Amino acid sequence: MIEPNPRPPVLKGLAVLTTDIILLYYDMKCANGVSEAEIKRKREKIAEILVTYPSTWYIDTLNSLGSVDIINANTTFFTFRAVNPA
């Protein structure tokens, strides 16, 4: 996993962020008949492009910018809304 950028983020206004829940995403793909080799190949292909962190990292980081809500969550994705009225 790539380490998060230590530079503090800046948010003015509204941000909406959607990220996948990696372990649940993997389980869902397997349950839908996608082979482990195909899942691994796709994960490696996007490894340097799509970087995800634990949901707690997103919540903590967005809370440090303003208020944060989870506006949608299902078995494979979280969608966060962060608002900073400044």
Q: What is the rounded average pLDDT for all residues in the chain? A: 77
Look at residue 17 in the predicted model and tell me its pLDDT.
77
pLDDT tens digits for range 28-85: 888 899 998 998 888 888 777 777 777 788 888 888 877 888 888 776 778 888 888 7
pTM, full prediction: 0.52
Q: What is the 3-state secondary structure (H, E, C) of the chain?
A: CCCCCCCCCCCCEEEEEEEECHHHHHHHHHHCCCCHHHHHHHHHHHCCCCCCCCHHHHHHHHHHHCEEEEEEECCCEEEEEEEECC
